[in-house]
Amino acid sequence: MRGWLWPQRYANQSEAAKDIARYIHLFYNPIRMHSTLGYLAPDVYEKVEARKTRLKLSTKT
């Protein structure tokens, strides 16, 4: 996956931006583990954190 972007040639900036977005959504966020996130992929980390921080509704009125 590391060579996804280089030595890729793009016809224009829009084409490059689409390919970079695809890289982020298909590899970087769902698969690549990050040491600063406890060796979790960003997508997994966000799901774990969302479960931890769910808002609790008050039963008092």
Identify which has the larger pLDDT, 5 or 24. Answer: 24
What is the mean pLDDT of the segment spanning 46-56?
A: 81
Q: What are phi and psi of 40, to 5 degrees?
A: -115, 155
Which band of pLDDT confidence, cut at 50, 70 and 90, is reported for residue 14?
Answer: very high
What is the mean pLDDT of the segment spanning 44-57?
A: 81
Q: Which are the contacts of 28, defined by CB distance < 8 A and separation ≥ 6? A: 42
Which band of pLDDT confidence, cut at 50, 70 and 90, is reported for residue 13?
Answer: very high
Is 70 exceeded by the pLDDT of residue 55? no
Contacts 24+ apart (CB under 8 A), 15-19: none
